[in-house]
Structure 1
Amino acid sequence: MAVLRVKFTKSKRNKLAQLLWILNWVSVVMGLVLISLGVLLKIEIRKHSEVMASQGTDSVPNMLIAVGAIACGINFLGGKICHDCSDNNRFTRWRLVILPYIICTFFFTFCILVGALMCYTMRGTLEDSLHLGLKQAMSFYKDTDTPGWCFMKKTMDELQFEYRCCGNNGFRDWFEIQWISTRYLDLNSKDVQDHLKSNVDGKYLLDGIPFSCCNLNSPRPCIQHQLANYSAHYNYDYLTEETNHWTTGCKQALLDYYTQIMQSIGLSVLIIWLFEISVLTGVRYLQTAMENVLLQGDPECETEGWLLENNFVEKAQTNFNIINSLHKVDQISTISGMEDHNKDVKTAAYGPDNVPLQTLPTTS
C-alpha cells in the first residue's frame, strides 16, 4: 500500500509542475546563499588564522561551498525537469532520468543536513586549534626582530584590545612565558642576571602582562607588573581586582565569537535543508502522478501520487522475500553442483553405460 497518497487532476499536476519550477529556481538562489555563507565563514576564520593551528577548521566552509555549488547545478536541472513535466510528451524524455535524479537529490539534501550539523559540532575542533595557535603566538610575542614572527606582537595586542581578553586561558598565562624581548633588557644589570638565573631555562619570567590586557575603563591606572605582589601596590588585591585588566582568556572570547557566527549559519543551513526537502517531496509526487498518467494512457485522467510505493513493513517483507529466494537459489545451485560432481565420479568409475571399468594390469 502506497504511503501518503494524494489525488491529482490534470490541472493540479500542471500547477504543481509550475510551482516546483519556481521553487527550483529559488533553490538555485539558496545554493548561492550556501556558497556565500561558506565564503563568509572562511573569511572569518582566515581573519584570525595567525592565532590558529591547522586543525581542519576549513572543513565546514569548504563543505558549505561545495554543497552550494552542487545545489545550483542540481536545482537548475530540477527546474528544467519540472517545467517539462507539465506536458506528457516532454515528460517521456525525462522518464528514465527523474528517479535517479530524485535519489541523487535525496543524498544531496542529506549532505546539506550534515553541513548544518557540522556548524554546531565545529566548536571542539576550533577550541583545539585556538588553544595551540594562541599558545604559539604568545611564545613569539617578544620576537619583534625575527623574520616571520615580527608581526605577532601587533597581532596579539590588537586581538586583546578588540575582544577585551588577555592571554590564552587568562592573564596568568603571561606569567609562564618570556614576553619581553632581550633587546630591552640590560643584561649587564645584576638584577636582570639574577632574575634570568632564578627562572626556568634562563627565561626572563615575571608576574606581569602587556599593556593590551589593561581595561581602559579601569578607575585606577593599569597595573602591569608585580600583579601577584600585594605589597607592591596600595590597596590592591589581584584576586579581586577584575576591573584593572581583562580576565577573560582570548580562546574563550574567540570561541564565543565564532560560536555565535556558526549557530547563525547552522540555523540558515537548516532552513535551506527544510526547503530542499519540501521541493524534493513535491518532485516525488509529480513523478509518481505522471507515471500513473502514462500507465493509464489518458492525459486528462485523475491519478494518484505518493512518496513510497509500499509502506516500510511491506518494503521490509519484500526485501526479506528477495533475500530468502536468493538464498534458496544458492542452495539449489549448490545441491545441483554436488549431484553433477557425483555423476562425474560415477561415470569415471563405471563408464557411461554403468559397466565397471576393467582394472589395468600392472607392469612388473
Structure 2
Amino acid sequence: MAVLKVTFTKTNRDKLAQVLWVLNWVSVITGIILFSLGLFLKVEIQKRRELMSDEIHSVPNMLIAVGLVACGINFLGGKICYECVDMVKFLRWKLLLLPYIICTFFFTFCILVGALMCYTMRNNLEESLFLGLRDAMRYYKDTDTPGRCYIKRTVDLLQIQFQCCGNDGYRDWFQIQWISQRYLDVSSNEVVNRLRSNVEGKYLMDGVPFSCCNLYSPRPCIQQQITNNSAHYNYDYQTEELNLNQKGCRQALLEYYTQIMQSIGLIVLIIWLFELSVLTGVRYLQTSMENVLRLGDPDSESDGWLLENSIAETARYNFNIIKSLGKCYQVDDDPNIDVPSTSQQAQVNVPTRQIPLAS
C-alpha cells in the first residue's frame, strides 16, 4: 500500500511543476543565505582566534559547503521541474529524477546536521575560550616578544568592548604577573620583597589592567590595591560593584557566540523545513508523471506518493537488496571452488614423453 497517496489531474500536475520551479529558485536564495551565515560565523570566530586555543571552524565550514551545494542542487531542480510540464521533456529526466531525489534527501539531512551543530558547539567553544583566554592573560605582559606583542591590545579591547575582566572574573589577574619586567623598579625594596615572596619569582599584586574599569563607575577607577580598603578613601572593595567589570570575559564571549549560533541554528532549521517540503513536492511530481507514462494517456489522472509500498515493506526490500549484494562476495561458499577444472585434470593425466639424453 502506497504511503500518502494523492491523485493528480493534468492541471494539478502542471501547477505542481510550476510551483516547484519557483520554489527551487527560492531555494537557490536560501542556499546563498546559508553560505552567507557560514561566512559570517567564520569571520566572527576569526576575529578572536588569538583568544581561542583551537580554531572551531567545523560549523561555519559545514554551512558554507551546504550553501554552495544548495545553490547547485536547487538550480538543477528548478530546470527539471520546469521541463516536467512537457511529457516529451520529462522523458529526458526520467532516469535522473530518482537519483536526484535520493541525493537531495541526503543533502537536506546535512542541513539538519548543520542546524544541530549550531546548538552543540557551546561545550567545545567554552573549553577553547577558557584555555585561550588563560594563555592570553599570561602573555599580556610580553609586549616586546615577537608573535605576542599584539596580545595586550587584543585583551584590552576585549575587556572594554564586552565590559568584562579576566577569564572568570577580575581576581584572575591577581594570580598572574601581567606587568612586564622592564617596568619594575628592581631597586625598590617593595618590588624585591614581592618578587621574593613568590615561589616562582613572579610579581603578583591585587591589581588589574585599566581595561577592567567599569565605564559606569561613579568614582575614579581603583585598579591598584583593590582589596586594601585602607589605601583608599571611603572605599570597601566588597561593596564597590561598579568599580570594576564583574563578569568574566569567557562568559561574555560565550553568551555572544551562543546568541549568534542560536539565531543561525533557527534560520537553518527553517531552511531545512522549506527544503524538505520542496523535496516532497518533487517526489509527488516524479511518481505522478511516471504513472502517467504507465497509463499511456498524458491527459489522464494519476496517483502520486512518497513511497510505493509501506515503510516496513520498503525497508525489507532494501535490506534484501543489500543482503543479496553481500552474498555476491561470499565466494568461499562455492562447493566447486576446490574442484579442479576439466582442463586442469587433462593436464595432470597426459603422460610426458621421455627424451633420451645424448651420450
Does TM-score exceed 0.5, indicating one fold? yes
In the TM superposition, what are the counterparts of 1:98-109 in structure 2 within 5 Å? 98-109=97-108
Deviation at 1:318, TM superposition (A): 4.1
Deviation at 1:233, TM superposition (A): 3.0
Aligned to 1:206: 205
Aligned to 1:178: 177
Instruction: Tell me the distance in 2 between the aligned counterparts of 1:260 and 1:334.
Output: 59
- 1:196-243 Cα offsets, whole Å, 9 max, x none, are 111131111101111111112112221212222343334433333211
Q: Does 1:57 align with 2:56?
A: yes
| Cα separation, partners in 2 of 1:329 and 1:46, compared to 1, 3 Å | closer
| Cα separation, partners in 2 of 1:47 and 1:319, compared to 1, 3 Å | closer
Instruction: Tell me the distance in 1 between the aligned counterparts of 2:82 and 2:316.
Output: 37
Secondary structure, counterpart of 2:289 in structure 1: helix
- 1:138-177 Cα offsets, whole Å, 9 max, x none, are 1111112222211211111111111000001111110111
| Cα separation, partners in 2 of 1:62 and 1:10, compared to 1, 3 Å | same
Aligned to 2:156: 157
In the TM superposition, what are the counterparts of 1:221-260 in structure 2 within 5 Å? 221-260=220-259
| Cα separation, partners in 2 of 1:267 and 1:95, compared to 1, 3 Å | same
Aligned to 1:112: 111
In the TM superposition, what are the counterparts of 1:71-220 in structure 2 within 5 Å? 71-220=70-219
Q: Does 1:18 align with 2:18?
A: yes
Instruction: Tell me the distance in 2 between the aligned counterparts of 1:330 and 1:40.
Output: 48
Deviation at 1:327, TM superposition (A): 10
Instruction: Tell me the distance in 1 between the aligned counterparts of 2:328 and 2:104.
Output: 35
Secondary structure, counterpart of 1:304 in structure 2: strand
Q: Gapped runs of 5+ residues in structure 1?
A: 345-364
Contact kept? 2:170, 2:245, Cα under 8 Å: yes
| Cα separation, partners in 2 of 1:60 and 1:292, compared to 1, 3 Å | same
| Cα separation, partners in 2 of 1:159 and 1:307, compared to 1, 3 Å | same
**TM-score, length-scaled by structure 1:** 0.88
Instruction: Read off the aligned partner of 2:22 and give its amino acid letter.
Output: I
Q: Does 1:44 align with 2:32?
A: no
Instruction: Tell me the distance in 2 between the aligned counterparts of 1:270 and 1:75.
Output: 17
In the TM superposition, what are the counterparts of 1:319-330 in structure 2 within 5 Å? none
Deviation at 1:265, TM superposition (A): 0.6
Contact kept? 1:288, 1:305, Cα under 8 Å: yes
- RMSD after superposition: 2.6
Deviation at 1:322, TM superposition (A): 6.4
Q: Percent identity of the aligned residues?
A: 68
| Cα separation, partners in 2 of 1:102 and 1:173, compared to 1, 3 Å | same
Instruction: Tell me the distance in 2 between the aligned counterparts of 1:194 and 1:207.
Output: 15
Contact kept? 2:170, 2:246, Cα under 8 Å: yes
Contact kept? 2:24, 2:74, Cα under 8 Å: yes
Instruction: Read off the aligned partner of 2:149 and give its amino acid letter.
Output: C
Q: Gapped runs of 5+ residues in structure 2?
A: 343-359
Instruction: Tell me the distance in 2 between the aligned counterparts of 1:77 and 1:329.
Output: 36
Secondary structure, counterpart of 1:204 in structure 2: coil
Which deviates the most, 179-188 or 107-116?
A: 179-188
Contact kept? 1:60, 1:118, Cα under 8 Å: yes
- 1:224-277 Cα offsets, whole Å, 9 max, x none, are 122223433344333332111011000100110111111111111111101100
| Cα separation, partners in 2 of 1:200 and 1:95, compared to 1, 3 Å | same
Which deviates the most, 30-39 or 140-149?
A: 140-149
Aligned to 1:357: none
| Cα separation, partners in 2 of 1:105 and 1:320, compared to 1, 3 Å | closer
Instruction: Read off the aligned partner of 2:2 and give its amino acid letter.
Output: A
Secondary structure, counterpart of 2:7 in structure 1: strand
| Cα separation, partners in 2 of 1:113 and 1:288, compared to 1, 3 Å | same
Instruction: Tell me the distance in 2 between the aligned counterparts of 1:330 and 1:38.
Output: 43
Instruction: Read off the aligned partner of 1:30 and give its amino acid letter.
Output: T
| Cα separation, partners in 2 of 1:324 and 1:129, compared to 1, 3 Å | closer
Instruction: Tell me the distance in 2 between the aligned counterparts of 1:182 and 1:48.
Output: 27
Secondary structure, counterpart of 2:200 in structure 1: helix
Deviation at 1:317, TM superposition (A): 4.6
Which deviates the most, 55-64 or 106-115?
A: 55-64
Deviation at 1:82, TM superposition (A): 0.5
| Cα separation, partners in 2 of 1:159 and 1:78, compared to 1, 3 Å | same
Secondary structure, counterpart of 2:225 in structure 1: coil
Contact kept? 1:56, 1:125, Cα under 8 Å: no
Q: When the two structures are aligned, how many residues end up with a matched partner?
A: 345
Aligned to 1:286: 285
Deviation at 1:26, TM superposition (A): 0.6
Deviation at 1:328, TM superposition (A): 11
Contact kept? 2:21, 2:77, Cα under 8 Å: yes
Instruction: Read off the aligned partner of 2:258 and give its amino acid letter.
Output: T
Secondary structure, counterpart of 1:105 in structure 2: helix
Instruction: Read off the aligned partner of 2:158 and give its amino acid letter.
Output: L
Instruction: Tell me the distance in 2 between the aligned counterparts of 1:195 and 1:277.
Output: 66
Deviation at 1:325, TM superposition (A): 8.3
Aligned to 1:358: none
**TM-score, length-scaled by structure 2:** 0.89
